[in-house]
Amino acid sequence: MAGKATGAATRAPKESAMKAGKARNAVPKAQSGEVVLLSGGNPQIPKGYGDDPVQAYISAMPGWKNEIGRRIDALIEDIVPGVRKAVKWNSPFYGAEDSAYFLSLHCFKKYIKVAFFNGVSLAPPPPGESTQKNVRYVDIHEGQFDEAQFADWVRQASQLPGERM
């Protein structure tokens, strides 16, 4: 039996390879204070309620998206006193006092996608259609933020029924 490995000795290389494979496929873990950007450049922020997690998301938005994120947040706060905020599914959500959300945003590589949950009721409706009946999107690309139109949509959306999530 010389030269033949048995028991744990034969399993160890396979187990090590499995562990290494899992590590390669795992989502990168953030070091303390470091934010991981998911595919497409969307910040990975833990779920949370209130302004702090939303500000953490906005601070982690890469490049030009950071300034637009700050502007979007400030506009919403100005237009909707007492706006409710949360981060869910790595996206900031904004809601009115009735505990329903009217808007969320999400970073992609070349744009910020803003979802208006009752967007079909906005006049004019945002241009992006959805597979969900009432949702409409606007994609904000670098240098193409129509602040006046966006503010009007926020004003309208905050007064319509939102989505409970």
**Whether the predicted model's global pTM rises above the 0.95 cut:** no
Look at 143 and 26; give whichever has higher pLDDT: 143
Mean pLDDT of 18-24: 43
Fold (topology level) of 39-157: Aspartate Aminotransferase, domain 1 (3.90.1150)
The alpha carbon torsion through 26, 27, 28, 29 (nearest 10 deg) reads -100
Q: Which sequence spans correspond to the domains of the chain?
A: 39-157
Say if residue 117 is exposed, middle or buried (CB neighbours under 10 Å; 0-12, 13-18, 19+): buried
